[in-house]
Structure 1
Amino acid sequence: MARPLKDRIALVAGATRGAGRGIAVELGAAGATVYVTGRSTRARRSEYDRPETIEDTADLVTEAGGRGIAVPTDHLRPEQVRALVDRIAHEQGRLDVLVNDIWGGEKLFQWDTPVWEHDLDNGLKLLRLAVETHAVTCHHALPLLLRHPGGLVVEMTDGTAEYNRDTYRVNLFYDLAKASVLRMAFALGHELGPRGATAVALTPGWLRSEIMLDLFGVREENWRDALRREPHFAISETPRYVGRAVAALAADPDVARWNGQSLSSGGLAREYGFTDLDGSRPDAWRYLVEVQDAGRPADPTGYR
């Protein structure tokens, strides 16, 4: 198998589950050494109290053909992030790919709740987890990434810049969090581009994460059973799809053409030719605008 990322070193911050895990595994499948971080370990669960762990993710990376290294890290604690980057520098001497996928906000936001009614502590914590963690990680990791030209930073968010510009997302705190990460990638593009590196914002579509599958009471093997409850879930994608998007970006010698831009898994699938695990190419953000938000009946024909 082709291993275009052999000898590349990646850090996927927030890789316990969901998109972070899918990204780490696909980077491993392309041959990379991948450091995976999070707060859920085999010895101690985070407040999510879910079974997925960073050690499991690291094992999946290794099984895919790369080398997975799990490092428990709370990205709200700068001293832990600094120690993480110091370890990568000591063990590898370089960092080629940084993926900021830290989130942790599922239990902190209330749907369609105005700011004056939303729990303030939860809203502010959501902003810290979604934005502050990314800034802390960039502060400590980017000097190492800039030691060698061609580095890539991927800021993971929910929604493209175009979609989020015109659409109110859930509530003030959620909307602000996702828009901030989009803007962070734009700002990083200005700071990294002249120094030989690239920054992008990237969104998956409707993700069949472990949490989403549990919400619908299905597993990946029978995910279509959820369509009885939510027909538009037909446009959903696996976490590996956006993982393949990141791997394609990391292997592209001309990746700088995307610097500062907002990208999606579906858009990059058209550009690079990869597919989801089932061979399809879901284009969720086009579907949302043209079908779901337009009030049309659920039908992914032509969108995957």
Structure 2
Amino acid sequence: MPDTTGPTGPARRSSILVTGAAGNLGREVVARLRARGARVRGLVRDQGGPRPGAEWAVGDLTDPAAMRAALAGVDAVFLIWPLLDSAPAQDMVAELGAAAPRVVYLSSTAIDDRAVRQSDPIVQVHADMEALLREAGLRPVVLRSDTLASNARGWAPQVRAGDVVSGPEIARTAVVDERDVADAAAAALLGHHDRHEPYLLTGPEVLSRADQVALLGAALGRRLRFRAVTADLARSRMLADGRPERLVEALVAASLRRPESDRVTDHVERLTGRPAGTFARWAVDHAAEFG
């Protein structure tokens, strides 16, 4: 729990803005901050019905007036940038600079700090955002996350329909439980971290998509298998599902260009005090979502 007492009585609780607060990760971050006694303001694009348990601000990261209002009285910000272009972030970064909160930015372990250009548009925008925040003098705490386990939720319709999950093959990575990322984010937001280098948040083992599907099958008591499809077929399927064309092209580029990584770190444990959980554990805990 954060210290809520001072030499003359109760101290003001930390007030934290969580962007992307309605998403898979944002919801987890909000829950953890509230459990640790912080005042939480969640930024969402629309109210979407009752959202108990926190203060909610409705607005868009690209709207300077909305950001100014959301940042009022805030000590720290958990920032998730949702667009495939960093240019619209200029005004948002200016508002952050004026408000001067501590910023914890969710980035990607796929960034290659030695490269002039990154492997694909998704990684490039993360590298651009890190640079924007640094150049604005915000000294962000950067959490570079590996592939989130929650991405597997996208397979649920296929799992319900049969025993084969098909999709583009993507480089093997140390898949990380989004709950661990949320714990790390809460620790970074509430603690005093002056680390200049990014934290690299990974799970404990490197997995392919076939590995993940098999582990999900084990949690369900089924023999699931993964079938790789071509980039062209993956593109046509995603477009048919209604995904925006620019996002589809970025996802296809990631499947084709992003290199494999065998990196496994202890940075989750450094921030949270406990080791990162396994994808197998995540699959057991979320098995009901695939039934």
TM interval, shorter chain, is: 0.3 to 0.5
Which entry has the higher C-alpha Rg, 1 or 2? 2
Q: TM-score, normalised by structure 2?
A: 0.42
Q: TM-score, normalised by structure 1?
A: 0.40
Between Structure 1 and Structure 2, the one with more helix by share is 1
